[in-house]
Each structure stands twice: as structure tokens, then as C-alpha cells.
A and B are shown apart, each in its own frame.
Chain A
């Protein structure tokens, strides 16, 4: 059953090619349904592979499928091979499963867009690249997928490239990621130079014999790559801007799958990471700071998607805490629950943006939407509670495990993580209150628009001609037909995936309940992959009880604080949304300023001093020196034959003399 593993990436590849060639002819909505079906089929095949792997004994759950030798170059040989083990299968199921749901949602979201089929072409290509990334048997194949998802991310962020901001955001994402990619590439070179192979199995086997410095260098370089891809400090700047892409893209790429690639990579090389606990500490601290900074910034964002973007940054920070604490299983656990929760949140936000607010994303223009979009509101609120850490929803379990075990690495990590958790609960509740509760604040509210019928495609024509929210009309001419008038519920292709993800966000915790080893399914499933790389920290029973209770109290405190401010309005909102947080600690501005002032000055120096005087001086100097030498040497060329003949004769005589003296003839 494992032999069909190659089908998993082959299906999206086929889908991509077919859509590329015939996508326009399929048109809307069939191109979307075709893409969705392809990913669903890939999910089904992944399930078959999963079942095949479950059938094996726990220690033998490693299967390598070599398709062909990709680069045979002397001693360096890379196979296009897939590694199927519990870790990669987990990601395969996640990518194809959540991917299929988001494909389906996109059919509704992209309705009326003139590049409808192109969108699904890119989405299928993305799933292909992501699968290559997680299934790669060696670092080079993973890197192929790594770059592939980067390209797709760029293409999809800049999907609406005729507008001003998306192409800029796409470029920013691409360039920032390149910084990380450089680290990844250097890591590959170093791994090959050290062990003569780039396969994960060889690398992890050789981890024990490696010099500590080498292991640390490999881990640090891979960490740089992971920081870029997973938007950690200091390279997180691209992720919030990536929200310029269509919302399903934000859900699939910039929340559920691609940004977790860094976590995957670190899990993949866990045995090497286990050799250097200091690097683990660095990773954990980067994660903790990212979690806190992301959460703080998220508290003051006004854009519905920006809140979620900084929330993603923050949650990825938690995953890095887990990786750094050598609790890889909990990192994977949080990746899974986060994919469900953030998938639901983004799809909910997308539903609000398209069918609630006509592409206005400013939460100050929303409010009271739960009456108009009950299903969306319910799903969004469930996911928000889950990510806030309210028991017994999924986020409570995964985040709590990470916090609980981070104490073993360092109590300070725990405290920073707990603070971030408080703000998580706070800003998620703030968002829910601003969007779904309170008085409606969108324009034309005075006319009291009637709640539209659920899924009414033609509902707009009859409703009062409420003025459109001041937002760019991204859909062009095709926009008006589907949704006019006031906010209304989304069609079923949009709310069904949303509901599925919300249910998963609610019950996802059953994957790993910390009551006994029988309920820790994920640990049992993944432990053979990590084995000795896992940390040996075992919290005491008292701490195991106290930790979750503290977490739950903190979560409720966060929600309560938000309720006091945004529901009861005890404190004016402007007081708790300082400018410094709204602008994200002026991080973007600082970079811009640095580049513009000292950066420009230094480049001017390089251009007008070093280059114009130094480099050009050397080049021109060489020319001038040649000219001067030539001017002297031309005197020798008299043009008289006897002169040359004399030269030859004298030369011959000198040579003869030299031979006589040196040879002693």
C-alpha cells in the first residue's frame, strides 16, 4: 500500500498541468471543482499510505521510494526520492486535507474573478510543492519544494497584480524568504561536506559522531532557513504583508501549511538538534520573543486579516518554543491544531470580507455581524475560543502542552509564553467583539438592511442600494452579481469547509490528551521518529495539574479583559491600542529608515568613493600604465632589418655564452 506514495504529489502535478492547459476552457466553477477533486484524491491516497504505515510495526515505519537519480555528479548523487514515515505522513494528511477544504472554499471566494482558473492552477502547484517539501527523502528535494512553495507564495500574494500593494507584498515575501533560503543552502553544502550525503536518514544516523561545532553550524544554518519560512524574529515582516493575497491563500499558505515548513524542517533533523541543546535554547527564545511580539502587535491591528496574520506569527513562535525545548511532538500537535483553528479563522474572515463587508477589511467598519452571518460567526467564535486556549477546545491542549514542557527548558520561557497566551485570548476576543458583536458600524446602517437569506445568490438585486463600503473593487465587472446589499451568509461551498475546520478546531485535542499514554495518540505515532532526540523532561504530577489550570485562568482573564473594553466599553478602545503597537513596533519603518539613511549613505560611499575612485582607478590605472610602457617599448621597433638581425645575433651569442658557462662545456 505504501507503493502508491508517489501518487500523492503526482496528482496535484497532473492537476496543475491540466489546469494550465485547459483551465480557461473549464472556466468557472469547473476549474475549481476539478482542482478540489484532485486534492481530495491526493488526501485519499495519503490516507491509504497512512493506513499502510499503521499496518507496520512501530519501529519499521520508514519507507523510501526512489523514483530516479536526479543529479549523479561524481561522488555527489541525489535521488528524487520520497521518505514516508509518521512525520511526513502527518504533514501529507494535513496539506492535502486542509488543502482540499480550502480549495473548496475558494470556489465561492473567487467567484466572479476573471483569473478564476489561474488561481486554482497556482493552488494546485502550491500543494505539489508543499508535498515535495515534506516528502523529500533528502535535503535537496526538500529544498526543491521549499523554493516551490516560495514561488507559489509569491505568485498568490501578488495574485491581484494590477493593484498597487499586492506585487510589493509579494516581492517582500520573496526577498525576505531568500535570506532564509541562503541559510538553508549553506546548511546543505555543509551537510554534504561533512557526511558526503544529503539524505535525512544518513544525516540523522551520523548525528552522534558529528563534531559539536559542525552540528551547531548545521542547525543554526537550517534555523536561519526556518526563521525565514516560518516568519520568526527578525524575518517575520513578510507575513503580515502577505495578507494582500486572496484570503484562501492566507489560510492555506500563510497559516496552515507553508509557514509550518520551518517547524517541519527542524523536526526532520531532530537528532542533530539534540546534539546541541544550546542551539535549541536559541530557537526556543526566538520562538518565545516572536510569540510575545506577535501577540502584542496583534492587539492593536484594525485590519481583520492583519490580526490573524500577527496571530499566526505568534503561534508559530509557540511551535518554535516546542522545537527548541526538544518537544517535537507538541510542535507537530500545535501545527495540526493551529492549521484547523487558523484555517477556520481565515476562512471565516474571508467569508466576512466577501459576503459581509464587500472587501472592507477594517474592523472599525464592522460590528453586529453575527445576526447576518450566523454560521460564519459561530465557526469563527469557536475557532477564536480554541486559539485563545479555552478548554476543552483544541488550542487549549496543544498550547498548554508546549507551555507546560517549556518550563523544563527554562521557567523564563514559560512566563513569556504565558504572557503571550494572555494577549492571544485578549486580541482574539477583541476581534470577535469588534466584528460580530456590538452595534453595526458599516455605512448605510441607518437604513437597517434586512438580513439576507442564507446563500441567496441573487439577493442583492432586491435589497436597498446601500452604498458600497469604501474598498477596492477587486472583482471588477463580475462583482455585482453575487452579493449586493447588506451583509449576508455565504453560500454553502464556503461555509461547509469553514464548519468542518471549526469542528476540527473544537475537537482536535483528542489527538493528544495528556491523561494517559492511551490517549496520547500523536506521541505514540511520532515517538519512533524522534526517539532519543526528545527531551527527557517529565513534569511532576502537581505541575501537570497546575499548568493547565493556570493557562485556562489566563485565557479567561484575557477574554474578560477584552469583554470589559470592547463589549462593556469601560475603557475607550483608543487607550489600549497604542500607536507603537498598531505600527508593529515601527519595525518596518526602522528597516526602511535604516536602508534609506545609513544604508543609502554607505551605498553612495561604495558607488562614488570605492567604485568610482578605487575600482575605476585600478582599471584605468592598468590602461594608463600599459600605454606608458608601450610608449617606451616602441622605440625598440626601428623597422630596420639589420637591427633585428643584430638582436638575433647578440641574443644567440648570449645564449651560447650562457650554455658554455652554465653547462661548463
Chain B
């Protein structure tokens, strides 16, 4: 059985949905963060799959950009989470609803 591009796309979709679902249902900021990373990586996987299927190097180029941006985002995001956890140990995402109108 040959592994075609569709398999990768399907995997990407499943990973994305898992990430999105996790983001919606979990309360722990750190876990939610990991879910976001999962979604990002699902997208990059899709890019690579298309890049291979269409024989276009552009998709892979985008992936490099996404990796760099994701790294930067992780640094900032983790910094914020650490700062929050220091001030309020054990806080969930619902506890920090400061933007409530």
C-alpha cells in the first residue's frame, strides 16, 4: 500500500482538529499553548504535503517562516504564562478573564 499525499493531508487535518478541540476544552494555559503548537504543526505538515504534491518549493519556504515565527511566539507566550503562574499559582485560563466587558 503506497503512502500518498492524501495520507499526510488527512493526518494534518486530524492533528489540527485535535489541537482545536484541546484549545476549546482544556483550562490549563500550558496545555492550551501546546494545542496551539499542535495546530501550527498540522498546518506546516499540510504545507509540506502540498509542496511535494505540486512540486512547488514555495510551500516548504513558508514552513521555515512558520517555524521561526512559532519559535518567537513560544518565547513570548511562555514568558507571559510563567509570569502569570508566578503571581497566581494554579490559575486556569478562566481565572484570567481580565478582558470581560
Contact = CB atoms under 8 A, between A and B. Distances in A.
Interface in B67-82: none
Contacts of B100: 637-639
Q: Main SS of the interface on chain A? A: helix
A642 B23 contact: yes
Contacts of A637: 99-101
Nearest to A635: B101
A639 B97 contact: yes
Contacts of A649: 20, 24
B95 to A, nearest CB: 10
B101 A634 contact: yes
A641 B99 CA distance: 10
B25 interface: yes
A164 B25 CA distance: 85
Contacts of B94: 640, 642
Interface string B4-48: 000000000000000010011100000010000000000000000
A645 interface: yes
A642 B93 contact: yes
Contacts of A71: none
Contacts of A633: 101
A642 B101 contact: no
B54 interface: no
Nearest to B21: A649
Contacts of A642: 23-25, 93-94
A641 B101 contact: no
A634 B32 CA distance: 25
A646 B24 contact: yes
B98 interface: yes
Interface residues of B, number: 12
A637 B100 CA distance: 5
A636 interface: yes
A101 B20 CA distance: 98
Contacts of B101: 633-639
Interface in A631-659: 633-642, 645-646, 649
Nearest to B99: A639
Contacts of A635: 101
A638 B101 CA distance: 6
B97 A640 contact: yes
How big is chain A's contact interface, by range?
A: 10 to 19
A127 to B, nearest CB: 72
A637 B94 CA distance: 13
B32 to A, nearest CB: 7
Contacts of B93: 640-642
Interface in B52-89: none
Interface in A595-636: 633-636
Contacts of A645: 20, 23-24
Contacts of A634: 101
A360 B97 CA distance: 88
A94 B5 CA distance: 101
B32 A641 contact: yes
Nearest to B94: A640
B25 A639 contact: no
B68 to A, nearest CB: 23
Contacts of B25: 642
B24 to A, nearest CB: 5
Nearest to A641: B93
A640 B32 CA distance: 13
Nearest to B24: A642
Contacts of B99: 637, 639
Nearest to B27: A642
B16 to A, nearest CB: 10
A638 B97 contact: yes
A645 B24 CA distance: 7
A633 to B, nearest CB: 8
B23 A639 contact: no
B78 to A, nearest CB: 16
A639 B98 contact: yes
A357 B101 CA distance: 85
B76 to A, nearest CB: 16
B34 to A, nearest CB: 14
A520 to B, nearest CB: 91
B42 to A, nearest CB: 14
A639 B96 CA distance: 8
A81 to B, nearest CB: 66
A278 to B, nearest CB: 70
Contacts of A640: 93-94, 97
Contacts of B98: 639
A67 to B, nearest CB: 65
B50 to A, nearest CB: 15
A610 B64 CA distance: 65
Interface in A319-333: none
5 tightest CB-CB pairs across the interface, nearest first? A639-B97, A637-B101, A639-B100, A634-B101, A639-B99
25 contacts: A633-B101, A634-B101, A635-B101, A636-B101, A637-B99, A637-B100, A637-B101, A638-B97, A638-B100, A639-B98, A639-B99, A639-B100, A639-B101, A640-B93, A640-B94, A640-B97, A641-B32, A641-B93, A642-B23, A642-B24, A642-B25, A642-B93, A642-B94, A646-B24, A649-B24
Given A638-B97, A645-B24, 8 more contacts: A635-B101, A638-B100, A638-B101, A639-B99, A639-B100, A640-B93, A642-B24, A649-B24
Interface of B: 20, 23-25, 32, 93-94, 97-101
